[in-house]
Structure 1
Amino acid sequence: WGVISGCALYSTKTSALNMAVSPSFIDKLALILVHNRQQLVVRSKGKNVFFTPGGKREEGESDEDALCRECMEELSIEIARPSISPYGVFQAQAFGKPEGTSVRMTCYSAEYEGTLTPSAEIDELRWIDSSCPYEDLSVTGIMILEDLKSKGLID
């Protein structure tokens, strides 16, 4: 995999470990859900922008386990593990963090069971397309939205 950072795609094989332990680097997982040519985003309590659903791994947790746990915690859905598929990796300035703190979002797509229901930590679920105002999204959210649009997956 490479990392989509702004408009550049580069290899992370040599630097991923160093970035994962850096105090100015946040490593997260996210679920890309597209339905009716729109992407699902969430707004956490106390935040004014929307993010791609997901979160951080707990110690010793695999990407698959963390993704399933985060989706149950945030969206009250069960991910169909056999359907989990890598989507891409996006890196940008982390929202609400000091300048120079980056977030690296390793994104997956997957099928799920259940009804999308915001948890106590989520204020709002929203289906968006490329007409969504960029000021409503995190920087990585904008990058993901643009990528989905460029691949013809959303309007």
Structure 2
Amino acid sequence: MQIIDKVAWLHLHQGLVLSTRSRGKDRYYFPGGKREAGETDAQTLIREIREELTVTLTPESLRYLGTFEAQAHGHAEGVLVRMLCYAADYSGTLQPAAEIAELAWLTYQDRPRVSAVDQLIFDWLREQGQLAD
């Protein structure tokens, strides 16, 4: 079994959660990405969010929210993605960069438009009363 190790930023505002769609992709994903050799969760997340969304996460505000695991979208059966999720404050203006084609603020109704692991997170956020229907 193969596991893809990813770190994600869960950013909510008034019951909506920030999501991104990469160029050429048909699903939305939480912003973040894969760890580079030797990186901590915080280093990975800060680097990825700066690259993808042009904002700077505030390191001391990082809060671990949970780890979620599911079949990786677009990969062979048995390839899983393990997503370590964090909340954090940021500075700057959110805008798509690098491979990101679009930013979107999603509700629970958008659940079918996201990857399998993100669907688990959508369920969890709804159970926590943080994600609007």
Instruction: Quote how far apart the aligned CAs of 1:133 are.
Output: 4.6
SS at match of 1:131: helix
Alignment partner of 1:147 is 2:124: yes
> Counterpart amino acid of 2:69?
Q
For residues 132 and 97 of structure 1, the distance between their equivalents in structure 2, rounded to whole angstroms, comes to 22
Select which of 80, 90, 95 maps to 1:117: 95
**Fraction of identical pairs, as percent:** 42
Question: Would you say 1:137 and 2:114 are equivalent positions?
Answer: yes
Q: Which has the larger radius of gyration?
A: 1
What secondary structure does 1:95 align onto? coil
Q: What's 1:82 paired with?
A: 60
* Structure 2 contact 111–119 (Cα < 8 Å) conserved: no
Q: Would you say the 8 A contact 2:10–2:18 is kept in 1?
A: yes
Question: Normalization by structure 1: what TM-score?
Answer: 0.83
Q: Which runs of 5+ in 2 are unaligned?
A: none
Kindly tell me: are residues 91 and 133 of structure 1, through their superposed partners in 2, closer, same or farther at Cα, counting changes over 3 Å?
closer
Match of 1:33 in 2: 11
Query: 2:83 matched to which residue of 1?
Result: 105
* CA RMSD, 1 decimal: 0.9
TM-score, with normalisation over the residues of structure 2? 0.96
Matched AA of 2:121: I
The Cα offsets for residues 50-103 of structure 1, whole Å up to 9 and x where unpaired, read as 001110111111111111000000111100111000011000000100000000
Task: Decide whether the 8 Å contact of 2:111 with 2:122 is kept in 1.
Answer: no
- Shift of the alpha carbon at 1:109? 0.5
| Corresponding pairs, count | 132
SS of structure 2 residue aligned to 1:132: helix
CA distance change for structure 1 residues 25 and 49 in 2, over 3 Å: closer, same or farther? same
SS in 2 for 1:70: helix
